[in-house]
Structure 1
Amino acid sequence: MAANGPLNVVALVSGGKDSFYSILHCLANGHRVLALANLHPPLDAATTTSRAIAEPGHIAAQSGAATAVAALRNSPGHEAVPKREQHGAPVGAGAGDTGGSQDENGEEVADLNSFMYQTVGHQVIPLYSQVTGLPLFRQLIHGTAVDHGISYQAPNGGHDEQTEEDETESLVPLLRAVINAYPQVNALCTGAILSTYQRTRIESVALRLGLVPLAFLWQFPELPLPSAIPQAGSGEHKDDAQLLRDMAVTGLEARVVKVASAGLGEEFLWENVASETCVARIQRALRRFGSGGRGAVLGEGGEFETLVVDGPPSLFKGRIIIHDHDRRVVREGGGSAWLNIRQATVEMKADAEVASGTMDDHSIRVPSLLDPRFEIILQTLCDEPNDDELGYDPILLSQASSSPLPPSSLSRFGPTSSDQDWYFVGNSGSVEGQTARIVDEIRRRLDKETLPATAITNSIIVLRRMADFPTVNKLYGALFPGPNPPARVTISCGDLLPGDADITVFLSVQRCLKTKPDHRRGLHVQSRSYWAPANIGPYSQAISYPLLSDEIRGNNDESSSESPLAISIAGQISLVPSSMDLPLGASGNSNGNSSPLQITLALQHLWRIGIEMQVQWWSSAVAYFPRSSSVDDMKHNALLAATAWKAVHASIPKDPDAVDVDPWDQKYNPLYISLAGGDSGASAARPPLPDWDVVNGVDADDDDDDDSETQMKPLPFMFSAEVAELPRAAGVEWHAHLGFAKLNTGSVRLYSKIGSDGAPDLYHVVIQETGSDTFVQTLAVYPKDERVESLSFEDAIKYSAAAVEKSLTKLFINSDAFVHGTEGNDATVAAAAINPKLTYVDAETFNRCEGSRGAVIPCRSLWDARGVRLGMAGVYETRLSGRI
């Protein structure tokens, strides 16, 4: 599969605005569009056979004059294309299902109402070949929506033999016909904006056929606007309608051909949606009926559909003409109405107009690489500050943030039986053999515990050599044939791996997902876009699951749906999303001028994914760097990362024009109620990241104007780790250990304790809500000082666990049940019962790490946010059952 350089693209077109605007972005990114492809519904008996067209110019072009008449429903006996030999298989005519709808003359007509494909106006599609000069392939839609899940899994593992065909699979013969005619085709373009349902289905087919999926409009409304265009001061809220304005600037003319919303009546039919007048009317209508949610103004919830009749001459060599008397309104009831188009013609543009159309006129708005928020961060890092001006003191920022924990009836302390950590170490032989044995071990473990592979939510793969990644990836990927594989972090630690091991694998497993698989949700975007790097392969951008499992909380489904969520997010490296290359000039090592840009870009990827998953707070984070040329260079990079982490948590200026909405209005007033657009289930008012309202003891309105460090808000603990190599020779990889979503106000409490007499520094993140159990993540951190000079690795692990146990006991001492135990159980369990989930080790401090509990990541060096070198950093997770 091609990964770099210009791609040869086949573009899926439905006739709608999004598919054609996506083609314009393909051209703007330097790709070559070789053909168009379209799926159409069955044609009624009066319509002659349509065929897959594989050659350009199949309809004679007459510049500047009205030309060929389209073969439409009410033109029996007229062929859509000349009868000639075609490359693709012919598509036969089928009987249409009228469904009882009638047009204005009482004639029965029907819209297929496909879950997947726009079908209104499909009769005009054959004209797009002449209009664009590109070959058009067409294929009949077979089947219906068999798989109704948001994420798609191909039947029979993607093989052709199927008992009941999903309509998605109609894409397979269509694209194979294109590939047979144009073997150089290696990419597929689609207009998906917010619809996970549509995107995942197209990705499934594209990747099976070896095509790179391109979705340049994915999350486009969330991307930064040019500085000349006004936007909200927060940088988080965007006006979805800006995308329609961008289309208008290019000259795209997209007419409304279907409405299906209480706010949009048939008076909107045939309006040009890519015009300011129509945009304003749609916005007013949707707000009036309380349906102005995310993506609604773009039609992402099915509010309307469009038909493109003209566009910039760089793509459109002609325009489609449809007269008033050739459009008839069809009313389906329930507020749905659409246009039955009976006849259309093509008018070719003058040669001079076509010659003037190039992609160099900058009319296609390509979003900036960085959001304004991250542009400021990059500028801060690029101002050549010295080390004394970088970083921050994590101790001061974590002090005095939370009030004491309230009284509770906590009765269980320590790891639960619901979540497990599995750790596998390669032994001897080739890396292929070691990986195969580990994969077999994982399968046996899953079988033994009768767990599906979807119970695995996160994996960390540590390699001796990053060059082995393709070999490992193929074997590892076989574990996850279904959609939404676990989030994943991959690093190389070189010769620091123990013994003959070439690979170690750490898995987080959630047993509660065995009986409640629908509580696991994934974000797995495999298309190139401007948003965040595509994850083409066996790992998702993010996986969410209940933070406090049903096994702990009981089987109350309603309660579980409202409980906090844990979010595992894949490691983020600094790829440019649209090209999947490192930024221009990035050398890929951890020094030089590329570090600020790579640190900032990778952090933006983490933030965008976190916002999409509605993360409100991170537990902690680590920035991995490849081997540095010197200790000073690594320290500088660590301070740059810490500065970026501090900056991204800074208060966002409020929009001075924003209107505060009363909570009653948000819940009951139709003017302010936000309905989800598309199928993502995301509200227009997603929580900010960070969401300071959820942090106990923090004034969310405090803008940190005071220069004093003690006045600053507390941050999730972060540190930096120097390893050997990172994927794609990247200069940094951000790894957030855990994100939290669906949190209530004040439910996050932060505590810190500075160690002494051989004890580590501790940083606790406590998630505690009324009526809920309690989750604690602890970072146990040993600075590289006299505290660890005389300790063995095993002693350091033991002392860390004892310190965590002692600190948690004090933290919850106000609970009598916790102190004294209940029903004979001693809640103040021994330190041996508290195991580190992950242990990062400075190899210079501890050069032997075998035989320890939990996953060990050996590092060349570790650094905190002050640029202080660390000897060890252990990540602990503890759950306490009971109620506040």
Structure 2
Amino acid sequence: MAADGPLNVVALVSGGKDSFYSILHCLVNGHRVIALANLYPPTRAVSAAQTSKDTATNIRAEVGDNLRSEIDSASTTTFGISSDNNVTPQQQRGPSSETSKHDNGDEEDEADLNSFMYQTVGHQVVPLYAQATGLPLFRQPILGTAVDYGISYKDPDGQHEHEDETESLIPLLRSVLKAHPEVNAICTGAILSTYQRTRVESVALRLGLIPLAFLWQFPKLPLNPFSDPAATATSLQNRGPGNNDDDAQLLRDMATMGLEARIVKVASAGLGEEFLWENVASEATVARIRRALRRFGGDGGRGAVLGEGGEFETLVVDGPPALFKGRIVVRDGDKKVVREGGGSAWLSIPEAKVEMKPDANASSQKIDDLGVRIPNLLNSRFSVVLESLRGDIELNVNSMSLSDELSLGLSPLKLVNSNPSGENWVFVGYGGSVENQTARIVDEISKRLHEFSLSPTAITSSVIALRRMADFPTINKLYGALFREPNPPARVTISCGEIMLPQSADITILLTVQPQMRPQDRRGLHVQSRSYWAPANIGPYSQAIAYPLLSEDEGQGGDDQKQQQSANSDSSLAVSIAGQIPLIPASMILPPVPSNNQESNLPLQNALALQHLWRVGVEMKVQWWSSAVAYFPRSSSPSEARHRALLAATAWETAHTTSRPGPSADTDEGPDLWDRKYNPMYMTYDDSGEAAARPSLPDWEVLKDFDEDDVIARRPVPFVFSVEVEELPRSAGVEWHAHLGFANVNPGSIRMHTVASLSADLILYHTIVEASTSDVFVQTVVTYQRVEGTSFDGVANRFALAVKGSLTGLLANTKLSESAQTNEDYLIAAIAVKPKLTYINPESFDLLNDPSSLSDKGGIIPCRSLWDSLGCTLDVVSIFETKWTKAKL
């Protein structure tokens, strides 16, 4: 699956603009398109009214059952491949050698399946694409309807294999692979629809194909004003008031390359049938669509001008010579308007033909001359980050300033939970091969889940530490067997090296588990397609998992009130995000490293990996980070390790301070149109489809005492530090990991305070989140510079005392006396506060001689060195999470 070179692609085509534009992006990225594949409505079609979502069950009975035997016995129709393999696509192109004509009566011509998954309007013309492009075309009728309405698709278990329309792709693609076994990738035109993308990914990965979705999130990837000033000026000129992005730029890109797509269906109250057969990519049509949509409340939201919410559908009739050797021609008399009611109308096209272009068989256009606009690797924010890392690094680290333990102005709070965002399960492999160790750990995890009656979906994040990164493929398959549902946990993987783990242990796994989380409260982002957006996650981990910041059972009141709180869309969310390495998203390879200077592209790797973290965070609507760590592979010297730490600190600082209050063009994103219509989690949008407020990252308004006029350089940023390990996945130069993101938090609900011990060897960085009217979540990062003669157990107890004592002063408005801090009862209560994760330099503390030390002391990551944002060495960094609630008076 990890093919780094050119791919052999089968392109899914519906006739719409997106699928053909995706093909052009495949070509410009150096891939070879081998064949086209299409799913079309069955011959015995039913009316559109029958195929509405409300009558999906009836459709399966009327269509699916009647057609099952017919389709099972029928072979896939192939255009461009004859039985004797001597007929070229130009010779065999459908029902007629020059036209595509259907004489099946009104029943077929006037049927649109209104599929959630597939475009079926214009299916009569699709056979002509074989001749028009010179590519073999494979077709298969659609079997069934939408059965699984979840935004993320669950692979069928066999029982329902033929019921969901998604599974119609299986026989279609198997036919392609039988004829073209060299095919190893599939491309689709999904732009904003998670619904469509996850289903194509599911089928592709089951068949061993690499999914390509170059248009995924494409409209929000900004133009570079320096490299293309003319295009940027046009884009700015055509943006509506208050719009931060211009979806129509994608249409302009299509028009520039000669892709001609005609509107063949309208399904919005703002778009009437007068739009039918208009060229969607023309400036005049784009302007008319905007005006029409605005008449009915706003512009329909992000993606509406592209038809992403089902506002319209298109049919491509021509394209650049590199792809289209002929043009599809439809006479005025061969278009029939079909009105479905409710403002929906579409064109039935019973006859069309292909007019070949002059020199159609010649190589009239080079791929490099297509003019396909590929987004810049870095957007404007992270281009600034990259510039800040070049040359001498001048630190202006804007971390939290030291403060006294004063009251925060909250009502008195008391500690009620030291693991509010989940339980920590630690597993250490001992003895035998790494494969046997991993198998035992997986078995232990399964038994633990069964013991507590938990599903693997209760796991939201994991940290895997290996002795050797070369073992990663071996453990990956075993670890992945735990997760059968969509959206596996977010994950971080590092190698600690030969001397960092106990001699008999080759792997440790730390899991964060949410025992009280309901399945509907969990949301994941698992993009497995290659795109320009961020690296694909083809493996047993998601880019991110979001869940309630405070567990349901910790709310106040009875069961009814708890259920209401859980369902409340205003509840704050925690977001666990996978570690991000600097892969180029479109190719899934690292930026090239000059052989004579391995460090020369480290600034680029830092900026790119951090951009990935930002894009994942924004897609999950993260407004603020709790803290972050940058992992670096083994350095040649302490000075090199320190330099890398300063690079990370500068990148983190710049990524925050280059933003301004309010929405950002680089990060202002929201849920896709399918979500807005069908997913209750996103049904908080107004009638225009626009969210009341789409926060940026960072969203400065979430900070307490936010002052828009304050100089941004004075604003605090979340704490960041760096660690040196042995090796990172893919031999990356850096891996960024945000410990937690906060989403759906209210303005002014986050406070940040830093407190130092009297000896200044221990510093606490508190991030305090008012998660509800009565509950407060606190993440505390504790850093420690070792005092000689101190044991790790002594440090751990001191950390617990410090966290409890500091937060008691801040949140309970109580100053503890020295005698109280040494009281035995208080000590017991304090050391019950356990760290979620601890980074430690084993050379400072003897942990390796005791084979049970790692599991006994919680989630420990052994590091070669640790560095704060000022380039100072540290011995221990621990992450604590606590939950506080109003004290009863």
Alignment TM-score > 0.5, same fold? yes
Q: What is the CA–CA distance in structure 2 between the aligned matches of 1:176 and 1:62, rounded to whole Å?
A: 24
Number of residue pairs matched by the alignment: 816
Once superposed, what is the RMSD of the aligned Cα atoms?
3.3
Q: For residues 856 and 69 of structure 1, do their structure 2 counterparts lie closer, same or farther at Cα, with a shift above 3 Å needed?
A: same
SS at match of 2:648: helix
Structure 2 spans left out of the alignment, 5+ residues: 47-69, 666-672
Q: Secondary structure at the match of 1:237?
A: coil
CA deviation string 1:406-451 (max 9, x = no partner): 3435344332587211011111111001000100000000000001
After TM superposition, list the pairs within 5 Å mapping 1:740-779 onto structure 2: 740-757=742-759, 760-779=762-781
The DSSP-based 3-state class of the residue aligned with 1:574 is: coil
Helix, strand or coil at the partner of 2:462: strand
* 2:217 counterpart letter in structure 1: Q
> Which residue of the other structure, out of 634, 638, 649, is the alignment partner of 1:642?
649
Q: Which moved more, 1:487-496 or 1:354-363?
A: 354-363
Mapped to 1, the partners of 2:774 and 2:273 lie a distance apart of 50
Matches within 5 A, 1:312-391: 312-351=320-359, 355-382=363-390, 384-386=391-393, 389-390=394-395
Alignment check: 8 A CA contact 1:771 1:883 kept: no
Q: Of 555, 558, 578, which aligns to 1:570?
A: 578
Q: Describe how 1:700-715 pairs up with structure 2 within 5 A.
A: 700-704=708-712, 712-715=714-717
Superposed CA deviations along residues 697-726 of structure 1, whole A, max 9, x for unmatched, are 23234343xxxxxx6110100000000000
What's the secondary structure of 2:9's corresponding residue? Answer: strand
| Aligned counterparts of 1:284 and 1:421: Cα–Cα separation in 2 | 54
Name the residue aligned to 1:52: 77
Q: In the aligned structure 1, how far is the partner of 2:572 from the partner of 2:359?
A: 61
Equivalent-residue separation in structure 2 for 1:371 and 1:651 (angstroms): 12
C-alpha contact (below 8 Å) 2:79/2:89 kept by paired residues: no
Closer/same/farther in 2, CA of residues 720 and 654 from structure 1, 3 Å limit = closer
- Equivalent residue in structure 2 for 1:876, among 877, 880, 883: 880
d(CA) in 2 for partners of 1:362, 1:736:
40
Distance in 1, matches of 2:126 and 2:88, equals 13
Does the 8 A contact of 2:571 with 2:772 survive in 1? no
The answer on whether the counterparts of 1:293 and 1:677 sit within 8 Å (CA) in structure 2 is no
Deviations 1:154-211 (A, max 9, x none): 111xx5x646521100000000000000000000000001101000000000000000
How many Å separate the matches in 2 of 1:471 and 1:674? 38
Q: Name the stretch that deviates more: 724-733 or 644-653.
A: 644-653
Q: 1:285 to 1:587 in 2, by over 3 A?
A: farther
Q: Bigger CA drift: 727-736 or 547-556?
A: 547-556
Q: Are residues 1:461 and 2:464 paired?
A: yes
Equivalent position of 1:151 in the other structure: 152
In the alignment, which residue of structure 2 is the partner of 1:798? 797
Distance 1:167 1:771 in 2: 45
Contact 2:421 2:881 in 1 (8 A): no
- State the 1:54 CA deviation: 5.6
Shift of 1:112: 0.7
The answer on 1:507 being equivalent to 2:518 is no
User: Could you report, residue by residue, the CA deviation over 1:830-872 in whole angstroms, capped at 9, with x for unpaired residues?
Assistant: 2111011111012332242653532111100000110011111
Conserved in 2, the CA contact under 8 Å of 1:770 and 1:883?
no
Quick check: 1:314–1:354 contact (8 Å CA) kept in 2?
A: no
| 1:846 maps to amino acid | F
Deviations 1:298-318 (A, max 9, x none): 111111100000000000000
Partners of 2:421 and 2:696 in 1: CA distance: 30
Is 1:180 matched with 2:186? no
Match of 2:24 in 1: 24
Structure 1's 59 and 678: CA in aligned 2 closer, same or farther, altered over 3 A?
farther
Q: Specify the SS of the correspondent of 1:5.
A: coil
Percent identity over paired residues: 60
The aligned residue for residue 668 of structure 1 is: none
Measured against aligned partners, the alpha-carbon deviations of 1:575-611 in whole angstroms (never above 9, x if no partner) come to 000000001226799x510110000000000000000
Q: String of CA shifts for 1:664-688, please: whole Å, max 9, x gaps.
A: xxxxxxxxx9994897949565210
- SS class of match (2:369): coil
Structure 1 residue 403: deviation in Å? 8.8
2:451 paired with 1:425: no
Change (3 A) 1:506 1:655: closer
CA distance in 2, matches of 1:438, 1:656: 45
Q: Indicate if the aligned counterparts of 1:759 and 1:799 stay in contact, CA closer than 8 A.
A: no
Counting only pairs closer than 5 Å after superposition, residues 88-487 of structure 1 correspond to structure 2 as 109-156=110-157, 159=158, 162=160, 165-227=163-225, 228=229, 229-230=232-233, 237-290=244-297, 291-351=299-359, 355-382=363-390, 384-386=391-393, 389-390=394-395, 392=397, 394-396=399-401, 404-408=407-411, 410-415=413-418, 419-487=422-490
Deviation at 1:109, TM superposition (A): 1.8
CA distance in 2, matches of 1:213, 1:777: 38
Q: 1 CA distance for matches of 2:88 and 2:27?
A: 24
Deviation at 1:359, TM superposition (A): 1.3
1:122 aligned counterpart, secondary structure: coil
Aligned partners of 1:841 and 1:858 also within 8 Å: yes
Using the TM superposition, give the Cα deviation of residue 757 of structure 1 relative to its aligned residue in structure 2, in angstroms: 3.5
Q: Aligned equivalents of 2:127 and 2:413: distance in 1?
A: 68
Deviation readout 1:127-154 (Å, 9 max, x if unpaired): 0000000000000100111111000011
Partner SS state of residue 325, structure 1 = helix
**1:493 counterpart letter in structure 2:** C
Give the C-alpha shift of residue 623 in structure 1.
Answer: 0.1
* TM-score (normalizing by structure 2): 0.86
Q: 1:407 to 1:749 in 2, by over 3 A?
A: closer
Matched, 1:582 2:590: yes
Moved more, 283-292 or 491-500: 283-292
2:866 to 862, 867, 877: 862
Tell me how far 1:772 sits from its aligned partner.
3.7
Where 2:140 maps in the other structure, the secondary structure is strand
State TM-score, norm by structure 1.
0.87
Residues 116 and 185 (structure 1), Cα distance of their counterparts in 2 relative to 1, 3 Å cut: same
Asked whether the 8 Å contact 1:378–1:597 carries over to 2, the reply is yes
Q: 1:470 to 1:54 in 2, by over 3 A?
A: farther
Question: How far is 1:285 from its partner?
Answer: 1.4
Q: Are 2:28 and 2:367, in contact at CA under 8 Å, matched by a contact in 1?
A: yes
Task: Report SS of the residue matched to 1:4.
Answer: coil
Aligned to 1:82: none
Q: Matched residues in 2 for 1:745 and 1:449: separation?
A: 37
Amino acid at match of 1:28: V
C-alpha separation in 1, matches of 2:481 and 2:663: 52
Given the superposition, is the C-alpha separation of residues 163 and 200 from structure 1 closer, same or farther in structure 2, using an over 3 Å criterion? closer
What is the CA-CA distance between 1:284 and the residue it aligns to? 1.5
Residue 758 to residue 693, structure 1, CA distance change in 2 (3 Å): closer
CA distance in 2: counterparts of 1:603 and 1:626, whole angstroms: 16
Deviation at 1:292, TM superposition (A): 2.2
Question: Which has the larger displacement, 16-25 or 579-588?
Answer: 579-588
Mapped to 2, the partners of 1:461 and 1:859 lie a distance apart of 13
Q: Aligned partners of 1:180, 1:353: CA distance in 2, in Å? A: 27
| Alpha-carbon separation, structure 1, partners of 2:808 and 2:528 | 45
The structural deviation recorded for 1:512 is: 1.8
Do the aligned partners of residues 524 and 827 (structure 1) sit closer, same or farther apart at CA in structure 2, a change above 3 Å counting?
Answer: farther
The letter of the residue matching 1:205 is V
Q: Residue 617 in 1 paired to residue 621 in 2?
A: no
Post-superposition Cα deviations, 1:318-357, rounded to whole Å, max 9, x if no partner, equal 0000011111111111111111112101000000796332
Residues 413 and 827, structure 1, Cα contact 8 Å, conserved in 2: no
C-alpha contact (below 8 Å) 2:267/2:311 kept by paired residues: yes
* 230-239 or 482-491: bigger deviation: 230-239
How many Å separate the matches in 1 of 2:370 and 2:162? 47
Letter in 2 for 1:128: Y
Q: Classify the secondary structure of the residue corresponding to 2:367.
A: coil
Taking the aligned partners of 2:779 and 2:107, their CA distance within structure 1 comes to 58
Q: Answer whether contact 2:628 2:736 (CA < 8 A) is retained.
A: yes
Q: Which residue of 1 aligns with 2:64?
A: none
The equivalent of 1:541 in structure 2 is 543
Return closer, same or farther for 1:594/1:391 CA change in 2, 3 Å cut-off. farther
Paired residues of 2:195 and 2:674 also in contact (CA < 8 A): no
